[in-house]
Amino acid sequence: MKKRILSILLAIVMVFTMIPSTIFATESENVYISVSYDGQFVTDQNGNTVAYATVPLSELATIDLNNYGLSDYLYDGDGDGNYDITAVHLYIYTHETILGGDFSTVSVSGGAGSIFFESGLFGFEDCNLMYYYNGIYPEVNGWGVTADQLVLQAGDFLDVAGYTSWAFYSDSATGFHYFADDEGNFTHNYSVDSGDELNFKLVRSYSAMGSEAAVYDEAGYEVYYGTSVGEAAGSVTTDSSGEGTITFPTAGTWYLWCDGGYGAENMEDIVSSPTCAVVTVTAQDTPRQPQDVSGVLNATMAQLAATVSAPAFGTNAGEWTVLGLARGEYFAKDHAYFADYYNRIVETVNGTASSVTLQNGALHKSKSTDNSRLIVALSAIGKDATAVGDWNLITPYDDFNWIKKQGLNGVIWALIALDTNDYQTTDITIRQQCIDHILSKQLSDGGWALSGTASDPDVTAMVLQALYPYKSQESVATAADEAFACLSNIQNADGTYSSFGDANSESCAQVIVASTTWGFNPDTDRRFVKNGKSVVDALLTHYIEEEAAFKHVAAGTANGMATDQACYALVAYNRFMNSKTALYDMSDVSFADKAEIVAGKPKATLGLPAEITDDIGKTFNATISLDQWDNTAGYKLIDFIMNVPDGLSVTGVTAGNRLNGGTVNYNLEADTGKHRVVYFDANNHSSLTVSGNAFPGQFFTVTFRVDSVNEGDKLNMNLSGMSIKLSSDSTDENAMIVVDTESATGSVDVVKGISYSAVCLYVGDDIDLIPYGKKAVAVSVVGIENATKLTYSDGTNAYEFKYSKEISEAAGVSTYVALVDASIDMAQFAKKANFTLTDNTASEITFGDANGDGVINAQDALAAVDTWLRKTETPSDDEILALNVNSDSRINTFDALGIVEAFVDGSEYMIVTKATTLSTNE
C-alpha cells in the first residue's frame, strides 16, 4: 500500500516537473509589440503588420530560455523564486511565432543585465535598433534596462524600431510616435460613434539613457486611416497641435496610423517610428431626420384663428395666440385680425395704464410680465410699444425694482421683450442688471427654477431664450452650456419634460423654443432625444388631431395655454427648419406702419377696369371702397368729388348694399369734369350705418358711359376729396372726417375690339386646402357679350374660365375666373392669342355657392366649415373658387363667416372687392 501511495506521489511530482519552471499567467493578460523598420511596420508570416500585435502572457510563459541557450538571462527580479517574463521571451515569441523566423540565427551576446542582440533579431541584419517600453526608453537609476531584465506586465507595450541609418541616435527628430487621448496619455485605442468626428492627437516621444523624456506635438504630419494598416482609405494632416479629426464612413474596426519620419538634420534618413491605433466605430441608430410639423402647426393655427376670433389683452386668447399666428405667418401683419387686436389693445392700454398708480406705462404695479407679454405680441405684429394709445410701454423698464418685483420670471421676460425690437431704456444698465440677476440665480445643476434647488425645464428654457442675444459674454456662454446640459439631464425617458411633477406639453414647448433660439435642432440633437424620442416627438404626443389642439398632460383634454405654447413652439421649430429668424428675433418684422390703423383716417380706394372699348354707349363701373367705418359715431353724410375725364358721362351712382340710412345724389359738372356725389338722409337727417364688420367695403358704384374716346386713350380718374360729416357745423373741427384719398386713383386704357386684362386674386399656400401650385386669376374681357364662353390655352396649360356675374356687375366689364397653375406668368392671361371665345354660354361661378345649387344658404356656410375641418373630401378647383370668398390663400372658417355675413348683412365678398380694385397683372 505504502509503495502504491509513493508511486502516485512520484508520478505527480514528475508531472509538475514537466511544467516549465518559469511563471504562471492567466490567458486574459496580454502584452503588445510593434516592430518596424525604417518607419514602416514589418509584416508577419501571414502578411499582417506587426503593429501592437497582441501576445498573451500565457504564451510567453511557455517559453523556456533554457531551450534557447539563454539560461544566463533567466531573471527573478522580485526574488520570489519564479523567473519573470521578460522582453527576451517576447522577442523569441515575436521572432518565431509571429514572424516565422528561427531564433537560433539570432546573434546574442553580453552578460545578464546587458544582453545585446548583435544581429538577426526580427530579420534585422544589424543591431541598429531602438526599443521603447510603454512609450519611453526603459531605464532604472539612470541606466538602460536591457531586454533580459525588462519584466513584462499585462498591458505593457513594446516598440522595436530598426533603422538603416544610424542617424536615429543623434537626430533631433528621432523618437517613437504615439497617439494620445484627451488627457495626453498614449493610446492605441480610440472609439467613436459612427457619423461623429474622431479627434485624435499625434505626438513623438523621445527619451534616452540619461536624458529627460520629452513628448512633442507632431504638427503637419500625415496620418492615415483604413480598415487595415497600410491600406489607407484616406489621410489627414495634423494641425499645429498635432491634432486632427476624422469622420469614419462606416461602423466597425478602423485603424489610424502614421509612418516614421525623416530626420531634421538628416533629412534623407528615417529616424522615427511609425505608430498605430485601433478605432472602434460604433454603429448608431439611423440618424434622426428632422420631422416636418407643418401639418400639425397649420391645423393648430387655423383652429386658434377660428376659435380665438377676437384676441385681447391676457394670457388666454390673447398675446400668446397673436404671437403664434404672427410669427407663424398665418395672417399677414396688416390683416384685420391683428388690426382689430391692436385696436382692442389700445383701448385696454389706455384704460389700464391710467389706472395704475405708477402712471408710466406699466400695466400692473408689480407684474412686469403684463407689459413684457404685450410687447412681445406687439413686436410680432410690427407695432411699436413706445406708442400704444397714450402710453409708452417701455418707460417702466427703467425701474429694475419693478422688473424684478415679479421675481426671476419678470427679469427673464423683460429681457425678451426689450430685445424684440431693440427697445432702449433710459438707464442703459438695465439689460446687464437683468443678465447679472439671472446668472446669480443659476442652480448647481446648471438650470434655473422659480423656487427650490432643482431646476425647472420651463424656467431654464426661458432663461436660455432670454440670454441668447448676450451669448458673447463668457459668463453667459458658460451658463448656457451648463443649462443645456441640465436640460438634457432632466429630460424624461420618453422625451418629455416634467414641471411640478407632471410631464407636460408646455415644458416641451419651452425647450423647443430655447433650442431653436440657440440654433440646435430639438428633433435631432442628441441632448434632446431619449430612447429615440425627441422633445418634438414628446410635444406632439399631446396633440389632439380631431380638435387641432394640445393637452397640458397626456391624460388630459385640450387646453388653451397648452395649445398656445405648443403653437408658438412649433412655429419656432418651423422657422428654424426654414432658416428664418428665431421666434423672438423679430429683426425680420417691419415696424414702419406703427399705430396707423387706429390713428389713421379712413382710407378710400378706387376700383376701375383695366380696359374699356371705344364703343360709344358702352358702360363700365368705378367702385369706391372704404377701409373702416364706425357705426357708433353717428355720421350723417358722405360726400366726394371724382375727377372724370372728357368723353365719359355718368349714368348712375348706387350706394353699396351695406350702406344704410341715406340716398344718393350726384352731378357731373361737364366743364370741369368734377363729379360730385353726396349720400345722406335729406328727410330725417338719420345716421348712416354700415352692415357687417368686413372691410374694406364697397360704398359706392359709379357707372360711366362712353361718349367719345379713342383707342389708345388713357382715362385717368381719382377722388379729389371725400369727407364724412357728423353735423353741419363747419366751425366744429370734429364735425368732419377727411378721408384719405391718396390711393383712390386709377386709369382705364381705351382699346378697340376684344382685349384682355388679368389680376391674380390669390395664390395657394398649402395650409388650408389650396395647394401651393395654384392661383386664382380674374380675367376681364372687353368687347364681348357677357358670359360668352372663354377658354385659355398657352400650348402647355388649358383652362375653361368661369364667368363671374358678381365681379362683372361690380366692374361693369365681363370678368372670368379660374384656378390655374401658379407658375404661369400673369402676362399670359392678357394675351389675346391664348384665349378662345365661343358662342356657348360660359359656366358660371357664384362665390359662396359651394354646392352650386344657385342658392347661398346655411348649406354653403357649413360646407366651408366642413371643408376646413376636413370632414369632406379635398375640394375641387370649382369648389375652391366658390368657397374662398375672402380671397386669401386658404379655405377656413373665415370663409364660412364671410358667407354668413354676405347672407345676413349683405356684405360683398372680399374676393369681389379685390377683383375690382387690384391693378392689372398684380
Partner 1 sequence: MNSKTKKKLFIGIGVVVLLLLLIVFLLFMNWDKIVKKIPTLTIETPHKISIQETEEILLDMSISSFGEAIYPAASMSIAFDSSRLEFVGVEEGNVFIRNEGNDIGQTLPEWSCNPEQCNKTGKINIMYLDTTGGKNAFSKELLAEEDNVVLRLRFRLRGSVRSGDVYDLIFEDAVFAASDENESLAMTRGTLKVRNGKIVMGE
Judged by the rule CB under 8 A, the positions of this chain that interact with partner 1 are 306, 657-658, 660, 689, 691-692, 851, 853, 855, 857-859, 861-862, 865-866, 869, 871-872, 893, 896-897, 900, 903-906
Residue 922 CB, shortest distance to partner 1, in Å, is: 32
Q: Which one, 545 or 866, has the nearer CB to partner 1?
A: 866
Residue 17 CB: number of other CB atoms within 10 A? 9
701: enclosing H helix or E strand:
strand 697-706
β-pair partners for 244 = 200
Looking at this protein, which amino acid is placed at residue 497? Y
Shortest Å, Cβ 656 to partner 1: 11
Contact present, 371 and 396 (Cβ < 8 Å): yes
Q: 315 or 660, CB closer to partner 1?
A: 660
Strand partners, 63: none
Choice between 454 and 858, CB closer to partner 1: 858
Q: Which is nearer to partner 1, 851 or 921 (CB)?
A: 851
CB of 631 to partner 1, least distance (A): 10
Give the nearer residue to partner 1 in terms of CB position, either 199 or 859: 859
Cell output for 314: 391676457
Question: In the structure grid, which three cell numbers stand for residue 375, read together?
Answer: 410687447
**CB of 302 or CB of 582, closer to partner 1:** 302
What grid cell was written down for 377? 405680441
Measured from the CB atom, the residue of 786 and 851 that comes closer to partner 1 is 851
For partner 1, the closer of residues 537 and 895 by Cβ is: 895
Cα–Cα distance between 675 and 665 in angstroms, integer?
11
CA angle 329, 330, 336 (to 5 degrees): 105
The whole-angstrom distance between residue 460's C-alpha and the CA centroid of its chain comes to: 20
Cα dihedral 366, 369, 373, 378 sign:
positive
How far apart are CB 904 and partner 1 at their closest, in Å?
5
Q: Exposed, middle or buried by CB within 10 Å (0-12, 13-18, 19+), for 210?
A: exposed
Nearer Cβ to partner 1 (259/901) = 901
Residue 769 φ/ψ region, left for φ over 0, alpha for ψ in the -120 to 50 degree band, beta for the rest: left
| DSSP string for 581-594 | PPTT-GGGS--TTT
Q: Provide the grid cell at 905.
A: 348683412
CB of 633 to partner 1, least distance (A): 16
Residue 892 CB, shortest distance to partner 1, in Å, is 10
- Taking the least distance from each CB to partner 1, the nearer of 154 and 855 is 855
688 neighbors 896 (Cβ within 8 angstroms): no
Is residue 116 within 8 Å of 108, Cβ to Cβ? yes
* Minimum CB–partner distance for residue 915 and partner 1 (Å): 23
- Tell the smallest beta-carbon distance from residue 306 to partner 1 (Å): 6
Q: How far is the CB of 291 from partner 1 (least distance, A)?
A: 28
- Cα 414 to Cα 355: distance, rounded to the nearest angstrom: 22
Compute the chain's Rg from CA coordinates.
Answer: 43
Q: In whole angstroms, how close is the CB of 812 to partner 1 at the nearest point? A: 22
Q: CA 847 to CA 810: how far, in whole Å?
A: 13
Q: How far is CA 128 from the centre of its chain?
A: 62
**Shortest CB 332 distance to partner 1, Å:** 22
Nearest to 665 by CA among 650, 676, 656, 651: 676
CB 382, CB 425: distance < 8 Å: no
Task: Output the nine-digit C-alpha cell for 91.
Answer: 522577442
Which of residues 39 and 692 has its CB atom nearest to partner 1 in the complex?
692
